[in-house]
Structure 1
Amino acid sequence: MTRKLTGKCFCGAVHYEVADEFIYAANCHCSNCRCTTGPAFKPFAGIGRDKFRLTTGDDRLLIYGDENGHDAHCGHCGSLVYSLVRDGAYVHVAMGTLMDDPGIRPSAHIFVGSKAPWFTITDDLPQYREHAEG
């Protein structure tokens, strides 16, 4: 049986459950991710939409975008909880909102072509100017 992970926003108004079956994970340095989260990059993990479920607070979400692609924030505290991507087929969970330890770690830095100029990447993960190749 697949292990379920839980996550939540900062204030606890929005909670979710996700299968520990992430397909990929990366550190995104694009300006949108930086603006929606605040730090130099957003660690995220991608999974099929059907493996992610809001358990509390779906009526508290503030959605930027549409049904095929959006960022979902808690409407109370503003935390970015997840992003719906790739024509609505995948969810990118903001890894900082996970309460449990996932079985995946970011494997690359993406969109380093637009990373914050004041931040220096100091690990040995591959770096891609835009999306990871392959």
Structure 2
Amino acid sequence: MATNNHATKKRLTGSCYCGAATYAVADEFLYAAYCHCSNCRRTTGSAFKPFAGIERAKLTPTSGNEQLKIVGDVDCNDTHCATCGSLLYSVVREGAYVHVAMGTLIDAPAIRPAHHIFVGSKAPWHEITDNLPQYDEHA
């Protein structure tokens, strides 16, 4: 008996802090990393941003579209909740992909970050204590 692959693929849900903006994304991430660049540190208010990358078409805002604050342009931006400020995802690579801020996922994804990027500009007060590969810039 044939199965419908679309029916068996897991969808994950994500939300901002206040719950005003939600999204669904396929659990088909292509890569995941911890980014230590100054932009990710500033937009998250943290030492790094754990993110998972996926084709843009596989992420769908499910509620609160009017709450989305786009910082940047349509093909290169950080998408935040306008109410609470949470960074939900970043649109990257000329609009083809999104980097989902993993802290906004409600459901656990199958992927885990595989390395640290932009370690050359990491916060001087933060110490990386795992054994994952580290790259000064992109992996």
TM-score with structure 2 setting the length: 0.94
In the comparison of the two structures, how many residue pairs are matched? 132
Tell me how far apart the structure 2 counterparts of residues 37 and 94 of structure 1 sit (CA, whole Å).
Answer: 9
Identity of aligned residues (%): 67
Tell me how far apart the structure 1 counterparts of residues 74 and 18 of structure 2 sit (CA, whole Å).
Answer: 25
1:30 aligns with 2:37: yes
Which among 114, 122, 134 is matched to residue 115 of structure 1?
122
Unaligned runs of 5+ in 2: 1-7
Which among 8, 12, 17 is matched to residue 5 of structure 1?
12
1:50 aligns with 2:57: yes
User: Deviation digits for residues 71-105 of structure 1, max 9, x if unmatched?
Assistant: 00000000000000000000100000000010000
Matches within 5 A, 1:34-113: 34-113=41-120
Displacement over 6 Å in runs of 4+: none
Alignment partner, residue 3 of structure 2: none
Larger Rg: 2
Query: What CA RMSD, in Å, does the superposition of the two structures yield over aligned residues?
Result: 0.4
Q: Secondary structure at the match of 1:84?
A: strand
For residue 68 of structure 1, report the CA deviation from its aligned partner.
1.0
Alignment partner, residue 126 of structure 1: 133
